[in-house]
Structure 1
Amino acid sequence: MASALTPARPRRYTGAMTDPVSAQPEDTGPAAVPAPPPVRATYVVLGLFVASLLFGLWGVWRTVAGPGGASGAELAAGQARIESLEQQVATLTRSDQISREANRDLQGTLAERDEEISALRADVAFYERFVGSTAQRRGLAVHELVLTPQAGQAWHYTVTLTQNLNRGAVSSGRLVLAVEGTRDGQLEQLDWAALRQQPDASGVEYSFKYFQQVEGEIMLPPGFQPLRISVRLVPASGAPVEQTLPWSEVAPRAAAG
């Protein structure tokens, strides 16, 4: 009988060694790593981000472009206003110019009318002096002589003859002129033929009841300085009438050539 104290024989383990971790019970269920989110959700999030970005850009564009558009409209309105004002200024300027020209023409016309009125008044006074009931009776006379320079050495003369002694009677005859002056330091007198440059020149005929203006041309020689001019009236009947006037009085606005 074997003793109960006999050591037991060690057991030999012939099985393969197993990793404690791998020794855990095998899990045949789903994988332990979590699956990624679905693709559709990703696109939704991305779309919302892009939409928000576009909306932000649109807001920025409205913020920037809005005032700019308003300024452009205001600029266009201001430019139109400026053009309108410029047109008004041009119109007013032209109107003022026309008014000035019309006023200048009117002033000129009024001045001419004043001269005509003065001349008519002088004529009326002249007529009254000779044909009025209180007019002083005078015979044939030279009332006025006016000389006007022409081209070269020529002069235009206007002689006003009057008479009211014989009312209704006709005075007729011839008029001749003579000029006294100096040339080359010597006194010289030019008769009617020399003044007309015609050896056989006859006097200018006149015929009137109360007054008449006789006009014509005379020519002075070069270098001649006139001093006096004489008017000689040779009536058809009666004694000749002669009157001498200083050259400076009958041609005050021109010097002799």
Structure 2
Amino acid sequence: MSAPAPSRFRVVPRDAAVRRRGASLLFGLAWAGSLVAMWFAASYTAAPRLAKADANRVQAERELAIVRGELRNLRQRESTLTRSDQISRAANAEVQDALAERDEEIAALRADVAFYERLVGSTSQRKGLSVHVAEFAPEAGGTWRYQIMLTQTLNRGAISQGQMRFAVEGVREGKLAAVQWDELHQQRSAPGQTYSFRYFQQLDGNVMLPPGFTPQRVKVTLNGGDAAVEQAFDWKTATAAGGK
């Protein structure tokens, strides 16, 4: 005879089951309480730190804004100083150029004074209106640049006024010829060059010599209200003085 099969059910006393459920409930409540306690503890501990960190962040943002403002001011100041330095350099260059021009003017005035002193010095002979020097120099375009110095030392209070013309004499096609003022300027009825001075004056200009013409001398004519002067200069001497 076989043994009876064991039963799937076990009889548990009611009091033991109740105690087991109560223990589980108490364990769950204790676990939840511990979580709540831990949350309160963490909040109590972290809240001051979070508040401090937030205050530090706000302070850092304020300081960053101040630093950025100072940086903008410094950049603006640097730009202003750079511009000011450029302006100062440009102004200084202009001053240097102006001083160089003044130095040239002073040197020219000193040369004029020295020239005048030689003209009216105690040992120099006083002369009326005359051509002190005539100089000619060739230019790249085939023209001739002239500089003619007029002087007057006889009457220091008088003002000499009038017109200056000159003609260049030489040889053309094997014959003596003279190139007059109009032909030199390639203009009909070309006006003379006006002069007006008390002691001396330099007249400048350009003329064109015709092709095939060999100059030998230049004849300068001065026509004023109270004087008429005609002087001739050797062309080689005039061109040597003019830098040829």
> TM exceeds 0.5?
yes
Q: Distance in 1 between matches of 2:60 and 2:161?
A: 94
Equivalent in the alignment of 1:11: none
Change (3 A) 1:156 1:239: closer
* Deviation of the 1:100 alpha carbon: 0.6
Residue in structure 1 matching 2:218, options 230, 243, 246 = 230
1:211 aligns with 2:200: yes
Equivalent in the alignment of 2:239: 247
The unaligned stretches of length 5 or more in structure 1 are 1-29
Structure 1 stretch 205-214 or stretch 85-94: which is displaced more?
205-214
Change (3 A) 1:52 1:153: same
1:100 aligns with 2:92: no
Residue in structure 2 matching 1:115, options 83, 87, 104 = 104
Structure 1 stretch 133-142 or stretch 37-46: which is displaced more?
37-46
Letter in 1 for 2:207: I
1:190-218 CA distance string (max 9 Å, x none): 33342133566686576766434445553
Q: Distance in 2 between matches of 1:192 and 1:161?
A: 18
Secondary structure in 2 aligned to 1:137?
A: coil
Structure 1 stretch 199-208 or stretch 187-196: which is displaced more?
199-208
Equivalent in the alignment of 1:124: 113
Conserved in 1, the CA contact under 8 Å of 2:120 and 2:126?
no
Change (3 A) 1:87 1:242: same
Secondary structure in 2 aligned to 1:161?
A: strand
Change (3 A) 1:225 1:107: farther
CA RMSD of superposed structures (Å): 5.1
Change (3 A) 1:163 1:86: same
Conserved in 2, the CA contact under 8 Å of 1:154 and 1:219?
yes
Conserved in 2, the CA contact under 8 Å of 1:226 and 1:247?
no
**TM-score of the pair, normalised by structure 2:** 0.59
Letter in 1 for 2:218: S
Equivalent in the alignment of 1:177: 166
Conserved in 2, the CA contact under 8 Å of 1:175 and 1:231?
no
Q: Distance in 2 between matches of 1:162 and 1:53?
A: 112
Secondary structure in 2 aligned to 1:240?
A: strand
* Deviation of the 1:135 alpha carbon: 3.5
1:84-133 CA distance string (max 9 Å, x none): 33323222211211111111111111112212222222232333333444
Structure 1 stretch 231-240 or stretch 59-68: which is displaced more?
59-68
Equivalent in the alignment of 1:15: none
Larger Rg computed on CA atoms: 1
Residue in structure 1 matching 2:179, options 190, 196, 220 = 190
Secondary structure in 1 aligned to 2:101?
A: helix
**TM-score of the pair, normalised by structure 1:** 0.56
Equivalent in the alignment of 2:78: 89
Q: Distance in 2 between matches of 1:80 and 1:225?
A: 81
Change (3 A) 1:127 1:94: same
Question: Matches of residues 135-154 of structure 1 in structure 2 within 5 Å?
Answer: 135-138=124-127, 140-145=129-134
* Deviation of the 1:162 alpha carbon: 1.4
Q: Distance in 2 between matches of 1:138 and 1:205?
A: 21
Q: Percent identity?
A: 40
Equivalent in the alignment of 1:49: 38
Letter in 2 for 1:164: T
Q: Distance in 1 between matches of 2:159 and 2:15?
A: 159
Change (3 A) 1:97 1:44: same
Conserved in 2, the CA contact under 8 Å of 1:129 and 1:136?
no
